[in-house]
Structure 1
């Protein structure tokens, strides 16, 4: 009986011993694996809701095609006592995103340069020369959080990386890379009945409307991306007009933006442009709110009728039928999951 008790005690002690060894071994294995993974395969798990720290496929494709060295100069003040406290964790996320660009680039074609523009330093002079925005610091000294992207003699600058644009940061950085590496800008033609380029107000502005329209936001972005510095060789962003007779052969794409009242000859030119391999992006509207604002008010006291404003519908039924495209003028397609509250804009809705 005593021998059985001794064997039982030994077996229990062995169980505890093996369990203890197992725990230690498991811990050691996990540590070793983490060391191996962290040193050989740089990885980071993105648990954010919108995957703001995971590079998109478009960015990965862009990086894989880079064949010219690109330098990203990340200007960030190291003095934590001076840097606004809400920016300190944000700067770490920005740097993490930049490292993903560096790792994802083809043949190490992206170099990340971290610069501390401390007060009265050459680095601060460099930040000012690049027109980076000063941030009021807690120690009454300016702080910086900006980025320059350079390729050969081209440079693009983000003067201040704003935390509120964190979800758009990848877009801003990738666009900067495109700006400095693109050899030729595509030619973009615009056909629209709306004042997307700005200029005079609608023929019959409603009370409270200004007399001068600013360029619409999307047009401003197109201008920045494709036509930042028009030269004597011509512009890359061209207003073709509603009566264009022929689309230039070197045009890459034509944007149709509510082309209400487009002439038959312009529609024929568009059809020929498509048949020759051109591309058209059409934004049609069964009822344009902006066009509705251009409609004349009813004359009072028997006054003479005024000229009509911009037609509110742009379905282009002839061309759509020829292209085999249907347009449902009484339906609206929207994704409520991505709805965004917009503040009131002044004559530049998009």
Structure 2
């Protein structure tokens, strides 16, 4: 074998070896500023601990409008990345054309879009979903993240930001074993399950849920406390009946022993059904006997209603078309819309949260750390109760000068070394009393309706969906973040709050300059090839001379 043949053989052997190594080792280098193509640490941990096979079917494919083609490609890039990290996760893109009925039966409701491209308006039907399955378990992923008052560009941007969380959450749902327990407190007129069905159903996908009724505390207080202490978190949703000292003592000792809690409270009774029927209703204080209890943990809920000019709408009948009532929507300052302030991971990068007939919160006790989670706009005023709430006020021109009371605190996170509210008081019953606990967390929100889903034809709707204007609010996202944070499931929140900055195209300018850029993209590559060809021809000719 001469020297030249030996060199060729060694080169071929080297290329084969590199090819074999390349098929075994996967490495990608993400040079984007926001690391949009890099998997976050919580997802890496999830994939590392994954023991099961996972299959992902994506239906956002086919003939798509430009923006949704972009979302589809970003989905593909992300799935290729997690497949490179974990080969037991496989995926496929399925064109939904011809399978529409089957997909709808599986709960995949199509989105009808009005698309404007090249100056033409057309309607497009897409299925922006994926199904994640492992064994018999399945989880539906909505790739198109909805939020209130968004342009299509910002909606796509939010959806791309949401991809990693959506898939990581779904993979966890179909593969994880539930461990942490959540108690849904009953016995004091709390919300019926149907009115918070969607939130509880979503919680049940990651946590073990069970009702705990405090009525039994009168007969078996120690047994009730022992049962409650088996749980990691207690949720108290819109109680309407006063708590007894024994009930408060049970909740107090649950907290001191490390139990987390979320309080969703209405301290003013404003019967919404009566208001819609009669157009006017008396709002009055609701005494739950919780003032002293919450005061100990650094919170006092003021018994008035907050009115905010930045508000959601309320549907009112304004006439009839034939025999059917005609509804119009009016901004209703008793329904504040709360914008995310991005100061805490719970409320970071979420849309507006809708509240109804909300009270404000004062904070006390400097030894407890207090983090605002929900705050009104600066254009507020309050209604002292008892007072009438009248729908006729909608027709009045709002005097902005009267909305001068500044931003109000509506939801707060409490963290610190809590002391018992019964430290220097007579105990309602005997137990192994603990006066001071270790570091703990609690969330108090001065609105019992934040977790309430609407009902349509006797069926609960998704939490955050307004059946009248078909807008989505971020109530469920906020509450899920709150639960994840309290139960130290920080990984999911980090994924949910991941920020990706996308450079969007100026569509009108792109349409106007379409021909210019087509010519540039066509002529420049051909010209470069021609120049290199001429140079190569010239050098070869010169070598042969």
Name the TM-score, length of structure 1 as normaliser. Answer: 0.57
Partner of 1:238: 211
Provide closer, same or farther for how the CA distance between residues 180 and 314 of structure 1 changes in structure 2, counting only shifts above 3 A.
farther
Higher mean C-alpha displacement, 306-315 vs 244-253 = 306-315
Q: Distance in 2 between matches of 1:343 and 1:153?
A: 35
Give unmatched runs, 5+ long, in structure 2: 1-17, 116-121, 146-155, 272-282, 302-338, 357-447, 451-474, 476-545
Bigger relative contact order, structure 1 or 2 (CA pairs below 8 A, ≥6 apart):
2
Task: Return the offset for 1:198.
Answer: 4.6
Task: Return the offset for 1:116.
Answer: 2.6
Task: Return the offset for 1:336.
Answer: 4.1
Q: Distance in 1 between matches of 2:129 and 2:138?
A: 13
SS in 1 for 2:267: helix
More strand per residue: 1 or 2? 2
1:64 aligns with 2:75: no
Partner of 1:282: 261
1:348 aligns with 2:449: yes
Would you say the 8 A contact 1:149–1:176 is kept in 2? yes
1:43 aligns with 2:22: no
Q: Distance in 1 between matches of 2:246 and 2:185?
A: 13
Higher mean C-alpha displacement, 261-270 vs 151-160 = 261-270
Q: Distance in 1 between matches of 2:91 and 2:355?
A: 38
SS in 1 for 2:259: strand
Give unmatched runs, 5+ long, in structure 1: 1-31, 200-212, 229-234, 296-305, 321-325
Q: Which residue of 152, 161, 176 maps to 2:144?
A: 161
Partner of 2:333: none
Would you say the 8 A contact 1:52–1:166 is kept in 2? no
Partner of 2:328: none
Partner of 2:108: 132
Q: Aligned residues, how many?
A: 262
Q: Which residue of 164, 174, 178 maps to 2:168?
A: 174
Q: Which residue of 145, 162, 165 maps to 2:128?
A: 145
Q: Distance in 2 between matches of 1:190 and 1:130?
A: 29
C-alpha offsets along residues 134-179 of structure 1, whole Å, 9 cap, x if unaligned?
3447787743331000010111112553434443333322221222
Name the TM-score, length of structure 2 as normaliser. Answer: 0.39
Provide closer, same or farther for how the CA distance between residues 85 and 194 of structure 1 changes in structure 2, counting only shifts above 3 A.
farther
Partner of 2:199: 221
Task: Return the offset for 1:253.
Answer: 1.8
Instruction: Tell me how large the CA RMSD over aligned residues is.
Output: 4.7
Partner of 1:266: 247
Would you say the 8 A contact 1:77–1:116 is kept in 2? yes
Q: Distance in 2 between matches of 1:126 and 1:165?
A: 25
